[in-house]
Every structure is written in structure tokens, then in C-alpha cells.
Amino acid sequence: MDFSFFITQTISGLTMATLLFLVASGLTLIFGVGNVFNFAHGSFYMVGAYFGYQLVSIWELNFWVALILAGLGAGVVGMLAESLFLRRIYGRVNEGGFQILLTYCFILIIDDLVKLVWGTEYKSLPRPKGFSGALNFGDIYLPSYNLVIIAVGLIVVVASWWILTRTRPGKIARAAAVDREMVDTLGVNVPLTMTLVFGIATALGGMAGALAAPLRTVTPGAGVEVIIDSLIVVVLGGMGNFWGAWLGALLIGEVNAFAVAFLPKWASLFSFLVMVIVLIFKPEGLFSPRQVRKV
Amino acid sequence: MRNKRLFICFVVAILAFIVVPFCVNAEDKTIKIGALYPMTGRAGLYGKDSVAAAEMAIDEINSKGGVAGYKIDITFTDSKVKPAYAVRVAKRYITEDKVNFLFGVVSSGVGLAVTEISNQYKTIFVGTDHASTRLTVDNFQPYYFRVSNNTFQSMTAGALYLKELAETKPWKKIAFIGPDYAYGHSQWDEIRYNLDRYGVEYEVVGEYWPKIYAPDYTSYITSILKDKPDVLISGFWGGDTVAFIKQAQAYGLFKKTLYFHPDAGGNYELMSAMGAELPDGLVLGARHYNNWPETDRNRNFVQEFQKRTGRFPTYAAQGAYAGIYAIANAVKAVGNPDDTEALVKALEGLKISLPEDPEGFTSYIRPETHQITQVMAIGTTMANGDFPPAKKMLGNWKIYKAEDLVPPVEYLEEKRKK
Amino acid sequence: MNSGPKFSTAVLWTLMILGFALVPVLMRSSYQLNLASHVLVWGLFAVAFNMLWGVTGMLSFGQALYYGLGAYFVGLMVEYLGSAWYLPAIGIGMLAVAATSFLLGLLVIRVGGVYFTMLTLAFGQLAWQITFKWYDFTGGDDGIQGIAAPGFLQNPIAYYYFLLVLVMLSIWILKRMAYSPFGLMLRCVRQNPERVRFLGRRVRRNQLRVYMVSSLFAALAGSLMAGIDNSIHTDMFFWTTSGEVILMSVLGGLNQFFGPFVGAAVIIIIEDIVGAWTEYWSLIIGSIIMSMVILFPKGLVGELHQLKLRMMPPKERRSE
């Protein structure tokens, strides 16, 4: 295999990995950090994509502005869903099970709402002006938009890690997830914290949807397709570990990229195999210092 | 207390639904059709288009007084692309609603499950959009009829196109990319079968099998670029086509390789989704086109559909439209919708003029396979703003005669032997 | 978990068995038979699943693996060897599943919580991917049709009673297990595994046992399903199938033995009714289930049980 192909394949793996990470980042926040399993995370990703489509293709706003607005829009929807419905099941016996069931209902409802508003036709979002081409070094092609995505991925991972571990709001959010009552007695407004965390997580998901939309189709049902991959990335990296999620996504992306190059017939099996192997040998995640194996 | 009352009401409601029979307005003299289409998710577009077109056909027929004194009545249920659920609904249609015809489906997996039911209960099943050749060959049963073409026909046309192309723009190396399931694999198998059958020489430089609905094709695209095929044969459908083309475009793939997508590539949803972004020079085929043939029949069909729904149709619509007319013609020939065996005979010999028929040709059903036989066309993308929001449509058509697209006898025998 | 005074359980059992047994007699058309069959199979699958989660606290997102295996053993053997192999295939499938769940169990039970869940999900998806891809052998996305039951079982009513007997027997076995010392042990494992170890009992061994039991009955459910519609499909292995039993269990009540069964019945019936009525079934069903979740924190059966307690005089209540 020649060098230029190696570079190309590595970068294409990196693109896939970053998209995987960006979509999963919101789930890392709400599930890994917040301990709330949002099954409907993919639906917010889809909502973000549709908002992006509406803002750019119909209302013709600037792409980058639309990106932020789409994320915010998804965040608002998330906060509404959390404060009106999800909040009511906090503290219940078997809360985990109810989280799954209730957020599954979100998926059902959001799917139809999206269908009602935008219909079933496939929509597309073009790449922003100036980013539709590629940088060209001999045989190596690097589409500019892919580079933007990779950059955004790095920004998100650094920013999230820093905010969660180095700032006070981040620490409060992490504490509230571990022990709601305790943090409540410390005078923190726990319901508000939970709502905000949920909102930020769904905003991240929505923004990822809008960011990925120029490379994908905006279609109903997209939500259910991404949730499993996102879940895998969250767990592979270690719950709540943003760097871990990014690296886990990188592992999957690169394994896939090279499997496609050398074993195209079996490439689809590889991502599952990676997942299975990591989970068997290091289930707490690749990069978590925790030990979860029972002695 | 509130909970208790609510709960009891709820339980009573559920029981009532089970015990009280569904209120079916049984008018005398109706032809009852039970249709299954996906109405949610990725394939929802095809379901909605099929519903609209079927209703359009039914309104046309009923407004002229129906058929042989019967009006047509149709019920639609979302198949959810789940074979087990679709089978349940089909059984309900047959045993509770007493339909005369089963109708529809988009997914071949669902189609295969429903054709079993059709056979078991001896109820005619008119297939309108799924394309697996199995339904008319390997899994053929006498109560199944299909009014849209199957992958074998598209792939035969594709092979003929490639054969002609070699004479003007010689090509040698081919590669295939398609979703890793039956639909993708049968297209690849069938096009190679046909290339061999017509003695076309080719060299396979790669085969790529992303999983269906794969969000990212970048690694596949870079691999294809490395393998440098002259022709890339594609087997995607729907959103996967759109995503692949968008991602490949940035890599300049279409300048280096001919993108060839004969079965579902030319479907209108691609043009409507991508608008001006869609590159020129892609060679695509589909089961029906909004801008070909340029006959009055086709124009009226497309315009009527647009008036009803506010959008232009995908090819699923013409399939459903054809299905209704096929049923109407058969019932007219027999005189009533209940004599199933006579209806089967009527459908076997059916000749039916459809929007997709060019001048001088009428679609017909072949008795050996119950498959409709039609002219196929393959075109190239170019600018055309007549069908917004699409800005590109197909043109530069190459046409293939219906008789040339029929599977040869040896093929039928080999597959049915199993 | 309460079982209530003996007589009321017997009444419940009789009502349930009688209810299902009378369906072929009272039904309007074979559609109701089909519906009842689906309720029975999913009910068994969900109850078996809940032995893992509600009883032992192990949330497996991959039970569809065994459900699918059960179905595909029957489907493949009948397709390649003939319908005489139908009944043996059920048995062979269960044996294969026992072996598989033992080996897989050893791998997945090493961890708990969400990691266990993810690992079961991963294996389930791996199985799905393999079956889906192996088109030449399994038929992939086309599924397998024409699975004919042997001899007299071809009569749908006969098959229904065959199904009813097997399902009721299985549920009875599971119930006995849930209320046996083994079941008590499982509940202790759910609540406090450390303590169980301190008491000198093996946690993992018991978890492995219940994992195998749950998987065996999931496989039985799958095998029986193959004969209802005479066709099977790879989506039986897909994670959404594993998800369905989770939803059914939560809806019906995780801490009630019959909760998942009732959850299964409710979900299947609502799906059918709403699906027949509107294409926006997603919105309606989502709203209905959401209301049930918010209104019934103990699950449907749990709330029913509460109701029963409230209606009993205070004296008897204490024995609950």
C-alpha cells in the first residue's frame, strides 16, 4: 500500500471518527456524566439536521449562524421535553427502566412531529460556500468540509473536557448526576441543573446533526440509526469521558477505514468485533481508570 | 383515586376494542383492497407517494362510475418495514376486512412474507414497488402479480447500456458498491450474469459493501479512488444514494469514474433532494420517470399528482397507479371481484397502458412469472428546471425494448429448481 | 414481590388460561387467533427477559440473540431438512442456546451495570450482522418463508393450543423458579451482590444460571413464533427486538411477575388498533405510553396490585 493511500485512508477514518464522536458527545454528557439515559438522543440529532435544513435551504441564512441556531433549537426542544416530562420520573424506583421507556416515547413522538412539519421527502443541505472543494496534494484529496468537521470535533472535545473538569458549573453538573439529593442540600437548584445539562446535551446532538447534514441525507428515521453507534462510543471511551469517547470513536473509525481497504467484504463486521473485544477485556472503557470487573 | 378511575376506563376501552367488531362500512358492490406501505422512516416517502397515486387512480375510476358496477375501496396501513407486523395486518385484511386484493409493499423482505400469506389464503397480491426478482422467480406463487419492474430487468438494461458504451467510450474495469443485503447482492449478481450473457468483457477491481443506511462512505470512496475503476456500478436506494453522491462529490470521484446506477438511481427523490448540487454526467435508471416518455399520459399523470400533493412523484407512485388500473381492468374482464381464479387468468393475460409506456408500446404481464414487462430507459443527469425543487433531471436517453429485458428460460429454470 | 394469598393466584391462573383457551371458540375470525398467539409468544419472551432484569437486576439488551436463534434453528432446519424436523429443531435449538448462553454468559457476566448491557447489545448486533450478511445460508433480509409445521400442527387451531400449553407451562416453570429459594437468591443478588458474597453464596454462578434460563425460554418463544406466521426474519435478532421486551417489562411492571406479560399484551394490542386507524400511529402510541409511564409509576400490574390492596380490608392487607 502506498503512502498517499495510507494518509488518505487515515484521514477518512478520522472524518468518520469525528462525526461519530460529535454525534455521541451529547450522549456522553447526558448519560456518561448526567446518568440519564436519553434513548432519544438520535432524535435530537435528527431535529438539528432538519432545523439546519430549514434555516439554510428554506430561509437562506448563513450556514455558520444556522449551525448555532440549529443547536440552540434542539437544545430548547430538549429542555422542554425534560422539564415537562422527564422530570416526573426522577427518583422513582427503577428509574433507569422508566428513562428508557419515556425517552423511547420521545423518539416516537419526535419522529411523527418531524414528519408532520417537513414531510417524508429526502432533504439536503449543501456545504457552506467556500467549503465544497478539496485540498489536493498529488494523489491525496482532503475535502475542505471534512477538515472543518475534524477541527470542530477537536474544539468540542477540548472545550467539554475543560468545562466539566475545570469549571465550577461543570463540577456541579457532575456532582448532581452522582447524588441529586446531596447537591440539593448544598443549595444548588438541582432541577434547573438537570434541565440545563439535558439542554446542552441535546444542543450538542442537534448541532452535530446540522454539521453532518451536508454530508448526509436529512431523512425521517435518522434518529434511531445513530443511537446505537453513539452508545457504543460513550461506553468504549468510558462513561462521561470526553477524551475517551473521542479516542474510542477514532479506534472505530480507523479500524473501519482499513477494513474497508483490505477486507471490504467483512468491513461491516469489524466495528462490532472491536466493540466486543474492548468490552470483554476492558469494559470500563479504554481510557477509564475505573475498574468494574468483579473480583 | 384519579389513577384508579383512569385505569379502569383504560382497561374497559382496551376490552371494548377487542370485543366490539370494527365498524366496517360494508357497501354492496365494492372492490376491497388492503394495502401495506411504509409510511414512517426512510421508506415513508415511497409509501406516501404510493398512497397518493393509488387514491388518484381510484378517484379517476370511481368518478367514471367504477368498474362493472363496483366501486373501489382501499385501506392503507403502515407496514413499518417489519415483516412480522405486515403479516399480521395482511391476515387481518383477509380474515376480518375480507379484502379481495392485497396491495403494495416497498420492502422485498415484507413482500416475501406477505406473498406467503397470499398463497395460503388464496388472495391475489398485487406488488407495486419492491424489486426482488425472487418474488416472480424463486418464490413464485400463482396469486402474486407485480406491476413494476424487478432488478433483473433493470440490470439487463444496464448491461446492454454498458455494452453499447464500450463501443464509443471503451471501458474495462468495473467496481460495485451497494448496501450489504439481498437487494445489493442480487443487483451485482444480475448485472454480471447479464454482462456475461451478452459477452461483454470486464475486469472487477473492487466490491464494496457498506451496511444499509451507513452514514459515512468516506473510507469506501477513498478505496474506490485507489482502485480506479472506469465504471462504478451502484446499488443504493433512497437516502443512501444522496449521501454517497454528496460525499463522493468532494473527492472528485465523478470526474474520474463513471457513476452507473441503473435500478434506483434515477428516482426523482435524488434530484429533488440535491437540486443544483447534483453533478452532471451521472448515468442513472429508474422504474418510472417524470420527464420520460414525453407522452400526454405521462404528463397528465405527473401534473395531477403534483396538484394533489404539492410535489412531483417518485417512481413508487406510478407502480401504485398501475396496480389499481391492473385490478380495475381485471375486474372489468371478469365482471366481479370475487372469482379469484378467473381474476388470476385475467391478470395473466393483462395488457395495460400506463404513463411509463412510450408511444406504440403497451405494458403487459407475462404469464410465466406474473411480472409486468415494460420498456426501460437509462439517462444522464443534466440541467432541467421543469420539476422544482429539482434543478437537474435525466436526459440523453437510451431506450431498451421490453422483450430484451426478460429473464431467459435457463435462468428461470435454474432458480426455480431449488 | 408479593404473590398474594394462594387462592387468588389460582384464580388468576385459571382466568388467564381459560381466557386464552376460549379465543378459538369466541373469535370472529382467525385474526384474533393470530393476535392472541403473538401475545402469548411475546408474553413468554418478556417474562423470561424479566427474570434477568426485574428479578436479578441484569439489564440485557441482547436477548433477541436467543429469540432469533430459536426461530432460525426451526426455520433453517425445516427449510433444509423438511418439516418433519420442526419439533426436533425446537429441542435442538434449545440445546444450542443452552451452550451458547453458557459460553457467552461466562464472557458477559464478568461485568455489571451498563457494561453488561453494552456487551449483550454488542453480541446481539454481531449475531444480527452475521445472519443478515450470510445471505446464501440464512436468506438475509429476505427472511425464510414457508416454514410448515408437521402433521396435525398445520391446523392453526391445533397449533394455537400447542402454543398455549407450552407457553403456560413455561411461565409456570418460571414462576416456580422466581418464588423458589433460587429466586430469592436472585433477588438478593439484585439488591446487594456484595452482601450475598459475604453470606458465602456465589453471585456469578447464580447470574449465569438465570441468564441461561432466560435465554432458553427466549429461544423457545422464538421457535414458537416461527410456526405462527410460518416465516421468520433477521430483524428478530435486531436490537429493537431486544428493546421491545424491555419496554414491555417496564410498562407492565418490573417488580411484578406477570407485569411483562400484561405489558406485552397492551403493546401488541395498541399497536394493532392504532396502526389500523392512522398513519400517525407513532405519535399516538408514543403519547399513550408516555401517559401510562407518568401516571403509573409502578407499572400497569403494579398499579393494579395497589388497587387490590386498597380494596381489601385492613386486616388482610397486612398479610400482603
Looking at the DSSP bridge assignments, the partners of residue C144 are: C232
What Rg value do the Cα atoms of chain B yield, rounded? 22
In this model, does residue B240 exceed pLDDT 90?
Answer: yes
What's the average model confidence in pLDDT over C95-110? 93
Question: Does a structural domain hold residue A292?
Answer: no
Among B100, B101, B77, B75, smallest CA distance to B89 is for B77
Averaged pLDDT for residues B161-180 = 94
User: Using an 8 Å Cβ cutoff, are B85 and B304 in contact?
Assistant: no
Give yes or no for residue B177 having a pLDDT over 90.
yes
Cα of first residue to Cα of last residue in chain B, in angstroms, is 64
pLDDT beyond 90 at C10 = no
Question: What would the pLDDT profile of B283-314 be if each residue is shown by its tens digit?
Answer: 999 999 999 999 999 999 999 999 999 999 99
Nearest CA distance, A202 vs chain C (angstrom)? 19
Q: Note the pLDDT of residue B298.
A: 95
Cβ-nearest to C231 among B14, B22, B113: B113
What pLDDT is stored for residue B1 in this prediction?
A: 44
Question: If you average pLDDT over each of A43-52, A131-140, A218-227, B210-219, which comes out highest?
Answer: A43-52
Q: Which chains are adjacent to chain C, needing at least 3 Cβ pairs under 8 Å? A: A, B
Q: What is the average per-residue pLDDT within B165-193? A: 93
**pLDDT of C78 above 50:** yes
Confidence of residue C316 (pLDDT cuts 50, 70, 90): low
* Minimal CA separation from A173 to chain B, in Å: 32
Q: Is A16 on the interface with B (CB under 8 A)?
A: yes
What pLDDT is recorded for position C71? 96
Contact C130, A269 (CB under 8 A): yes
* Helix and strand counts by DSSP (H, E) for chain A: 11, 2
CB contact set of B322 (below 8 Å; sequence gap of 6+) = B128, B147, B148, B352, B354, B363, B372
Residue B403 has a CB neighbour count (10 Å cut-off) of 8
Find, in chain B, the residue whose alpha carbon is nearest to that of C241. B82
For residue B6, what pLDDT is reported?
54
Confidence of residue C136 (pLDDT cuts 50, 70, 90): confident
- Residues of B with Cβ-Cβ distance to C233 under 8 angstroms: 82-84, 109, 113
pLDDT of residue A174: 84
- Minimal CA–CA distance to B288: which of B50, B103, B40, B34? B50
Residue-wise pLDDT for C209-221, tens only, equals 999 999 999 999 9
Does residue A274 have a pLDDT over 90?
Answer: no
Whether the pLDDT of residue C62 is over 60: the answer is: yes
Greater confidence, A125 or B26? Answer: A125
Distances (CA, A) of A87 to A39, A98, A196, A258, C246: 15, 11, 12, 44, 21
Whether residue B85 contacts residue B44, with contact meaning beta carbons closer than 8 Å, is answered with: no
Q: What confidence category does residue B20 fall into, taking pLDDT thresholds of 50, 70 and 90?
A: very low
Mutate to test the interface with A, among C134, C274, C294 (most CBs of A within 10 A): C294
Min Cα distance B93 → chain C (Å) is 9
By the 8 A CB rule, do B332 and B68 touch?
Answer: yes
Cα–Cα dist B306/C164, whole Å: 52
CB contact under 8 Å between C118 and A232, yes or no, is yes
Read off the pLDDT of residues B268-277 as tens digits, 9 standing for 90 and up: 999 999 999 9
Whether the predicted pLDDT of C99 surpasses 70 = yes
Question: Taking a C-beta distance cutoff of 8 angstroms, is the pair B189, B170 a contact?
Answer: no
Summary mean pLDDT of chain B: 90
C155 has which bridge partners?
none
Nearest-angstrom CA–CA distance, B92 and B65: 29
Grid coordinates belonging to B61? 375510476
Q: Å from A135 to nearest chain B CA?
A: 9
pLDDT-based confidence at residue C25 (cuts at 50, 70, 90)? confident
Confidence of residue B147 (pLDDT cuts 50, 70, 90): very high
DSSP state of C54: I
A260 vs B40, B42, B223: nearest CB: B223
Contact at CB, A122 and B45, closer than 8 angstroms:
yes
Where residue B81 falls (left for φ over 0; alpha for ψ -120 to 50; beta otherwise) is left
Nearest Cα residue in chain B from C271: B85
pLDDT at C1 over 50: no
| Grid coordinates of A218 | 436529512
Interchain contact B7–C (C-beta under 8 A): yes
Among B252, B269, B301, which Cα is nearest to B54's? B301
Residues of C with CB under 8 A from a CB of B: 28-32, 34-35, 38, 129, 132-133, 135, 139-143, 145-146, 225, 229-231, 233, 235-236, 266, 269-273, 275-276, 279, 281-282, 295-296, 300, 303-304, 307, 310
Residue found by looking up cell 464500450 in the block: B166
Cβ pairs A/B, distance under 8 A: 134
Judged against a pLDDT cut of 60, whether residue C5 lies above it is answered with no
pLDDT at B125 over 90: yes
Q: Three-state DSSP class for C250?
A: helix
Question: For residue B23, what pLDDT band results from cuts at 50, 70 and 90?
Answer: very low
pLDDT at B17: 54
CB nearest to A272's CB, from C126, C204, C251:
C126
Q: Per residue in A33-83, pLDDT tens?
A: 888 889 999 999 999 999 999 999 999 999 999 999 999 999 999 999 999
pLDDT for B61: 95
pLDDT band at B99 (very low <50, low <70, confident <90, very high): very high
Query: pLDDT-based confidence at B21, cuts 50/70/90?
Result: very low
- Work out how many domains chain A is built from and give that number: 1
Dihedral angle, C-alpha A197, A199, A203, A206, nearest 10 °: 120
B41–A220 CB contact, under 8 Å:
yes
CB atoms within 10 A of CB C315: 7
pLDDT number for residue A1: 64
Q: Bridge partners of B144? A: B125
What is the C-alpha to C-alpha distance for residues C294 and C287, in angstroms, rounded to an integer?
Answer: 11
Best of A15, A217, A262 to mutate (most B CBs within 10 Å, chain B): A217
Of all residues in chain B, the percent with pLDDT exceeding 70 is 93
Q: Where are the beta strands (DSSP E) in chain A?
A: 134-137, 140-143
Q: Determine which of A257-261, B25-29, B80-84, B159-163 has the lowest per-residue pLDDT on average.
A: B25-29
- Which residue does chain C place closest to B78, by CA atoms? C279
Q: CA angle at residue A43 from A37 to A48, to 5 degrees?
A: 120
Burial of B341 (0-12, 13-18, 19+ CB in 10 A): exposed
Q: Give the CA distances from residue B24 to residues B27, B73, C17, C24, in Å, rounded to whole numbers and listed in that order.
A: 9, 11, 31, 22
Task: Mention every residue, 6+ apart, whose C-beta is less than 8 A from residue B270.
Answer: A122, B241, B242, B245, B278, B284
Q: Is B348 in contact with B146 (CB distance < 8 Å)?
A: no
C137-155: per-residue pLDDT in tens? 998 888 999 888 888 888 8
CB contact under 8 Å between C122 and A276, yes or no, is: yes
Residues of C in contact with B40 (CB under 8 A): 279, 282
Instruction: Please give the domain boundaries of chain B with CATH numbers for all domains.
Output: 30-149+295-373 (3.40.50.2300), 152-286+376-416 (3.40.50.2300)
Q: Where on the phi/psi map is residue B408: left (φ > 0), alpha (ψ -120 to 50), or beta?
A: beta
| CATH number of the domain where residue A206 is located | 1.10.3470
- Any bridge partners for residue B115, and if so which? none
**For residue C293, which of A95, A112, A61, A168 has the smallest C-alpha distance?**
A95
Average pLDDT over residues C275-298: 92
Dist. CA A291–CA A282, nearest whole Å: 9
Separation in Å, CA of B90 to nearest CA in chain C: 9
- Taking the C-alpha atoms of residue A259 and residue A270, their distance in angstroms, rounded to an integer, is 7
Query: How large a percentage of chain C has pLDDT more than 70?
Result: 96
Count of H-run helices and E-run strands, chain C: 16, 2
Residues of A with CB under 8 A from a CB of C: 85, 88-89, 92-94, 96-98, 100-102, 104-109, 111-113, 115-116, 224, 228, 231-232, 235, 239, 268-269, 272-273, 275-276, 279-280, 283-284, 292-294
Taking alpha carbons only, the member of A201, A31, A276 closest to residue C124 is A276
Half-sphere exposure of B182 (CA within 13 A, CB side): 26
Cβ atoms of B33 and B74 closer than 8 Å: yes
Task: Give first-to-last CA distance, chain A, whole Å.
Answer: 45
CB contacts of B270 in chain A (<8 Å) are 122
pLDDT recorded at residue C96: 96
The reply to whether residue A9 touches residue B222, judged by beta carbons under 8 angstroms, is yes
Find chain A residues with C-beta within 8 A of B208's C-beta: 260, 264
By C-alpha distance, which of B131, B124, B157 is closest to B340? B124
Q: How far is CA C15 from the centre of its chain?
A: 20
Nearest-Cα residue of chain C relative to residue A109: C283
Chain-wide mean pLDDT for chain C? 90
Residues of chain A in contact with residue C289, where contact means CB-CB under 8 angstroms, are 101, 104-105, 108
For the stretch B325-348, pLDDT in tens is: 999 999 999 998 999 999 999 999
Closest residue by Cα to residue B181 from C39, C140, C284, A243:
C140
Sequential DSSP letters for B183-246: HHHHHHHHHHHHHHHTT---EEEEEE-PPTT-S--HHHHHHHHHH--SEEEE---THHHHHHHH
**Contact pairs from chain A to chain C, CB under 8 Å:** 124
Q: How far apart are CA B94 and CA B79, in angstroms?
A: 15
Range of the domain at A70: 3-281
- Chain B, 289 to 318: residues with Cβ < 8 Å from chain C are none
Q: Which residues, numbered 257 to 286 in chain C, qualify as contacts with chain A under a Cβ-Cβ cut-off of 8 Å?
A: 280, 282-283, 285-286
Q: Would you say residue A162 lies in a domain?
A: yes
Strand partners, B260: B233, B283
CA torsion angle B42 B318 B54 B300 (round to 10): 130
Residue C4: its pLDDT value, please? 47
Side-chain half-sphere CA neighbours of C154 within 13 A: 9
What is the share, in percent, of chain C residues with pLDDT greater than 90? 62
Chain B partners of A110 at a C-beta cutoff of 8 Å? none
Distance CA C144, CA C81 (A): 14
Judging contacts by C-beta atoms under 8 Å, the chain C residues touching residue B120 are 230
* C52-85 burial code (b ≥16 CB/10 A, e <16): bbbbbbbbbbbbbbbbbbbbbbbbbbbbeeebeb
The residue of chain C with its CA nearest to that of B111 is C142
CB contact under 8 A, B95 and C235: no
Average pLDDT over residues B76-87: 93
How many separate helices (H) and strands (E) can be counted in chain B? 14, 15
Q: Residue A8 and residue A217: Cα distance in Å, rounded?
A: 24
The structure's pTM equals 0.91
Cβ distance B44 to A221 less than 8 Å, yes or no, reads: yes
Q: What percent of chain A has pLDDT over 70?
A: 97
For chain C, the domains span: 7-242
Q: What residue in C sits closest to B130 (Cα-Cα)?
A: C142
Hey, what amino acid is at B372? I
Phi, psi of B365 (to 5 degrees): -100, 135
